[in-house]
Amino acid sequence: MTKRAYAIIVASFFTVSIAFAIRYGYGILLPEMLPALNLSKTQAGAIFASYFVTYTLASPILGILTDRYDYRALLTGFTALLACGALLMAFASTLWQGCLFFAVAGLGHAACWAPVAALVQKWVPDHRRGAALSVVNMGLGLGIPLWSTLLPLIVAAADWRAGWVAMGLFGLGVAAINFTLVRSPVNTGTAEDGAIHGGAPLWESYRKILADRGFWIIGTAYLFVGFNVLVPFAFLPIYARESLGLPYTAATRFVATIALFGILGQLTLGTLSDAVGRIRVMMLCGLIMGLACLAMLLSRSSWALYVATGCYGLGYGAVWPTYGAAASDFFSKQHTGGVVGLWTVFLGVGSLVSPLVCGWSIDLTRHYTWALLLGVISGLMSTIILLAIPRRRQ
């Protein structure tokens, strides 16, 4: 690979790292935010859902724009917007302010996955796509445990607002890295792709994609993945604190456990998908994540919960690079950004609904059984739906 390809991977690594750190940092800071802002679990879910409203609406648009416009401008500008949303969260004092400010962060994050996945795949050779995306997603695996360690220390030294400031400032630094390292690739598609890429109407460019049955099958499976992921990342620290009686610092370590084992999942299952096929690995990820939610529900000690979250991390870590790489497997590389962006709509819908439904179930029943059972069901559904993909395309 070229030096620029390696630079792209480095910039993408940091972009993914801070984007998901801010997204899931909400769940880490939430146990301290709840009493300070006098929030119910449903209201806490509403703030998280607001993030995914803007993220979901903007992702397909930005995915398509990355196939037509400058990557450096998009990744620099929207990473800075993500950082500003995190900084604004430090000043939230009401439910509506929390929803508005986190929605700004969600809008910024919309350019921190689909465009990143598309950019990396356009710079690296085809046989390295799964491995390259796995390395990029190690930013997620390293960023979350880093911030889940730092945030409790920052909260202890100051308060939860300082945690948002720290993540926001780091995000501005990542925007500077993107401005320095990111460059758009030259057009390496076929003449037909180039014609579509260059000037055809957007609907014409993506009509065939939307008509493809496989697009809808994978997108629906991705929706259930989005629902599943938000169950532990939104409520696991609170679950550990309220159900197992753990202190705040110990309760946040379960998020770090998921992320650390996610690195192992990326390096093993994510890379394995290059050899055995994306669909098979995507199905395995959904199965692991669903069964791990069941193990979380049955855990009666901190060590049992550590085992359950570690298993969850294996599937969680591999799910992102495999779904991202599948876009180039099923469709033209020139449309990778658009495909991933459209699939992100499905992901966003699941992620939007999950914290609202799960938070409401917790407020209604005063326990976490139904929330975790929904995690079990959504994980297994993502696997079952993928069975509809013809074997010749797996």
- pLDDT tens-digit readout, 268-311: 887 788 788 889 999 999 999 999 999 999 998 999 999 999 99
Q: How many domains does the chain have?
A: 1
| pLDDT-derived band at 192, boundaries 50, 70, 90 | very low
Q: In the prediction, which pLDDT does 327 show?
A: 80
Please state the pTM of the whole predicted model: 0.81
**Of 33, 65, 16, the residue nearest 321 (C-alpha):** 16
Q: Which two tokens stand for residue 44?
A: 């806490």
- Cβ atoms of residues 111 and 73 within 8 Å: no
Q: In the prediction, which pLDDT does 92 show?
A: 96
How many CB atoms lie under 10 A from the CB of residue 277?
A: 18
What is the rounded distance in angstroms from the CA atom of residue 309 to the CA atom of residue 330?
A: 32
- Cβ atoms of residues 77 and 27 within 8 Å: no
Q: In the prediction, which pLDDT does 334 show?
A: 67
Q: In the prediction, which pLDDT does 189 show?
A: 43
What's the average model confidence in pLDDT over 123-127?
A: 77
Q: Mean pLDDT for the chain?
A: 87
| pLDDT-derived band at 193, boundaries 50, 70, 90 | very low
Q: Which two tokens stand for residue 39?
A: 């929030």
Q: In the prediction, which pLDDT does 122 show?
A: 82
H helix runs in the chain, sequence order = 3-37, 41-66, 71-89, 95-109, 114-123, 129-157, 160-181, 191-199, 202-211, 213-243, 248-265, 271-276, 278-298, 302-330, 336-365, 369-386
Supply the CATH number for residue 358's domain: 1.20.1250.20
What is the rounded distance in angstroms from the CA atom of residue 183 to the CA atom of residue 76?
A: 11
- pLDDT tens-digit readout, 24-65: 999 999 999 999 999 999 999 999 999 999 998 887 777 667
- Range from 59-73, 103-117, 134-148, 168-182 that averages highest in pLDDT: 168-182
> Which residues contact residue 337 at a Cβ distance below 8 angstroms, ignoring those fewer than 6 apart?
62, 63, 64, 65, 66, 67, 114, 115, 117, 118, 119
* The pLDDT of residue 190 is above 50: no
**Range of the structural domain that residue 292 is part of:** 3-183+190-393
- Point out the least confidently predicted range of 165-169, 240-244, 331-335, 364-368: 331-335
DSSP 185: P
- Point out the least confidently predicted range of 45-54, 185-194, 380-389: 185-194
Please name the residue that has the structure tokens 């966003």: 348
What is the rounded distance in angstroms from the CA atom of residue 245 to the CA atom of residue 239?
A: 9
Buried b (16+ CB within 10 A) or exposed e, 321-348: bbbbbbbbbbbbbbbbbbbbbbbbbbbb
> Which residues contact residue 286 at a Cβ distance below 8 angstroms, ignoring those fewer than 6 apart?
221, 224, 225, 228, 315, 319, 379, 380, 381, 382, 383, 386
- pLDDT tens-digit readout, 248-259: 989 989 998 998
Give the number of C-alpha atoms closer than 13 A to the C-alpha of residue 140, restricted to the C-beta side.
Answer: 30
Please name the residue that has the structure tokens 């326990």: 367
Longest CA–CA span in the chain (Å) reads 62
- Cβ atoms of residues 117 and 340 within 8 Å: yes
What is the rounded distance in angstroms from the CA atom of residue 215 to the CA atom of residue 235?
A: 31
Q: In the prediction, which pLDDT does 188 show?
A: 45
Q: In the prediction, which pLDDT does 160 show?
A: 96
What is the rounded distance in angstroms from the CA atom of residue 151 to the CA atom of residue 146?
A: 9
Q: In the prediction, which pLDDT does 203 show?
A: 62
- Point out the least confidently predicted range of 90-94, 147-151, 209-213: 209-213
| SS (HEC) of 337-373 | HHHHHHHHHHHHHHHHHHHHHHHHHHHHHCCCHHHHH
Q: In the prediction, which pLDDT does 69 show?
A: 73
* The pLDDT of residue 191 is above 70: no
More confident residue, 193 or 31: 31
